[in-house]
Every structure is written in structure tokens, then in C-alpha cells.
A and B are shown apart, each in its own frame.
Chain A
């Protein structure tokens, strides 16, 4: 399961969802694996505003990964500056010409790092623990299981 998924996951127990401590879920005894994936710059840029950055930093540090910067990168930080003049990039964006953008722009090191952490770093085995109730959800063969025992439904 790629780490980006954790940005959209919380405890499956209804009473936990209103408790801020239930987000994010905390990985425990996690075995990580890098599964290489194509870097999609447009996708990264678009997903950027949706990231709960502070929480991702916490997860990343709990997993012993390299520390994420204190503040989230801006979309422009994801593009190699020498490659495309900024105004061209903005025009393309306004026209929604995602295809053209992908061809013209080169991902920066920041983009590559972000891609590595969010989309290529996967939890293969381990647990995801709710910070509110302490319930542990198992991750096996890269699949997290959120089915609850009968008494918790």
C-alpha cells in the first residue's frame, strides 16, 4: 500500500472519526518496499494541495524515512526551473493542456523525492494503529484490512 493512501485513511470505527487523534493512522512494525512507478508531474502537482503535510511528515518520520521539509513544496518547486519559463507553464495550466505540460517539463529533485515517498514507498507488511482507540489494522502482502470484529461495528 503506497503511503499516499494514508492521506485518505482513518479508523473504521465510527466513534473515532470525530476524534482528531484518529488521523493519521500510525504504521507499526512496517516492512517497506519500493515499487517503482512512472512519475506523473501533472498528477503530483494536482495532488499537492490535497496533502495533509504535517501528518505526512509524522508518518514519514515514524517510518524512519528521510525528513520531509517543514512546509509543503509549491507546484513550481516540482519543475526543473531551467526547463520551462514560468509564464509558459501558467498558460498551459490555464488551458488545461496537461499532455503538453508533461512533455515540456522536467521534474525537479523535489518532485522525484515526493514521488518516491508518496507513490513508490509501499507498506508491505505490518499494522496501522488508530491514535484514538488503539485498534490495529493488519497490512498483509501490501493490502490493508479494515474489516472490524463484530463487537466493534
Chain B
């Protein structure tokens, strides 16, 4: 994790943003199945409502409901270029701490597997605040509920998962992403001399078989932490729970 608040942005640029830019295409090909609970939230939205997908990645949640209009945003240009295929929605490149949206105009917002990439406690709370800021306040005259945000993060408590983390483990971790090299490229990779290997090492560790490993920074949330962040950001927790290695919460304005 970043050593200080001030270094947070630089740390994430190196250990999150540049990694996703590199692995965008492969990452996207593995991310097509929406989490059922997020799918349910999106399908529950009334027709014609307007939403934001903060950190939309390859846009897999943009495909769920065509009766609403979602503006997706992501830090990675390469992922946004993949995400924009989903009609009738729209996608832009943006940072989740500097979102280019007017305050209080969205009926709903989602941020799925995003804020766990922020590297300091205050940046994670700020990320929640930025999501809450998007939401439309409740309107008494129109008897409309205020907007709701669905936030989903990786859990520390996942002892049955492939990673095996659990309560009491380190919460700030580097998680490898292995990019398999195509077979035809292998001979070339092996011929590389020391000088060119150094360049590769700067981007990602080069394994002898030609695979490249990229490390992404994650903050693993422990029980109650997401709810606490929402409270600290000035929001209210409407509903929250655990689903297959992840914590989720639906938040609203207070």
C-alpha cells in the first residue's frame, strides 16, 4: 500500500492503472459473467432511469439492462474502448476520485470491484463519497426515493477461495495476473538478451516459458469495513452482505 496519502495516486498509477492498461484485452475476455446480485440490482431499476457505472471495466454490467441509460467510466482507455460497444449506454475515461458528472442527477450508481484498488483509507472513503455525490436526493413532492449505490469489494475472509486469505491476514496485497504468451512468440522471447529482459522486467516479470506476470494492488475488506467507509463518507447503508469472496453494500444519501 502507499506509505502516505500524498503518494496514493502515484502508487495506484503504477500498481493498478498501468497494469489494467496492459492486461485490458485478456482481462476483458475473462470478465463476461455478471455477479447475480449486481444483475438483480440493475434489473430492479425502473425503465428510463439513469445510472453511473464507476470503474466499468470492459462494461459487462452495461449489457444487463437496456431500459436504463448508464454512463460508464473507467481509468483505463483500453477497457473503455471495449466497454463502449454496449448500446444504448455510453462510456468515458475518468478517475473515480474526479468524476465528470454533475452532482445529484443519477438514480443509481454501481462500482463493482473498484474501490479496493485505492491504496489508503482516506482515498477509499473519498471514493465512496464521490459515488454518493452522484445520487439524486429523495424528492418528497414527487414521492421518489433517493438514488441508491451498489458497491462491491473483495473480502479478506475467503478461506475456501483459490487465494485462501482469511481473517487476521494482511489486508494490503499484491495479486498476480498472468498473461500467457502466444505459442508463436515463444522462440523470440527466449532469444532475448539481458538488456531487453530488463525492459520486460520493468513492465512485468518475464517467466522462462514466456508468460508475463503483472501484480495489481488490492485492499481486502474485512467484515464491516465497507459499511464503516460508507458511514464515514456521509452515506447510509440500506442493505449489505457477503457473496462468494466479496462484501457488498447498497448505500444511499443520509
Contacts and interface: CB of A to CB of B under 8 A. Distances in A.
Contact of A144 (B87, B92, B103): B92
B84 interface: yes
Contacts of A10: 100-102
B87 A37 contact: yes
Contacts of A153: 9, 95, 97-98
Contacts of A40: 66, 88
A12 B95 contact: yes
Contacts of B84: 142-143
Interface in A17-64: 17, 23, 37-38, 40, 42-43, 45-47, 50
The CB with the most chain A CB atoms within 10 A, among B50, B92, B97, B99, is that of: B92
B102 A1 contact: no
A43 B67 contact: yes
A42 B69 CA distance: 12
Contacts of B81: 141, 143
Contacts of A150: 9
Contact of A9 (B49, B69, B100): B100
A148 interface: yes
B88 A43 contact: yes
Contacts of A137: 100
A71 B47 CA distance: 23
Interface residues of B, number: 33
Given A8-B50, A143-B77, A143-B81, A47 B69 contact: yes
A47 B71 contact: no
Nearest to A49: B48
Contacts, number: 101
Contacts of B66: 40, 43
A12 B69 contact: no
Nearest to A142: B84
B148 interface: no
Contacts of B103: 17
A8 B71 contact: yes
Contacts of B52: 8
Interface string B76-102: 010011001001101111110111111
A147 B99 CA distance: 9
B47 A98 contact: yes
B179 interface: no
Contact of A13 (B49, B90, B92, B98): B98
B73 interface: yes
B90 A146 contact: no
A43 B92 contact: no
Given A4-B69, A142-B84, A153-B98, A9 B48 contact: no
A49 to B, nearest CB: 8
A5 interface: yes
Nearest to B10: A150
Contact of B98 (A14, A50, A98): A14
13 contacts: A1-B92, A2-B90, A4-B69, A8-B50, A42-B47, A142-B84, A143-B80, A143-B81, A143-B92, A146-B73, A146-B100, A150-B9, A153-B9
Interface of B: 9, 47-50, 52, 66-67, 69, 71, 73, 75, 77, 80-81, 84, 87-88, 90-95, 97-103, 105-106
Given A46-B49, A143-B80, 11 more contacts: A1-B90, A8-B71, A9-B92, A17-B102, A37-B87, A46-B48, A47-B50, A145-B77, A146-B73, A146-B98, A147-B75
> Which 10 pairs, one residue from A and one from B, show the smallest C-beta to C-beta distance?
A46-B48, A146-B94, A5-B90, A146-B100, A12-B100, A145-B93, A12-B98, A144-B92, A10-B102, A8-B71
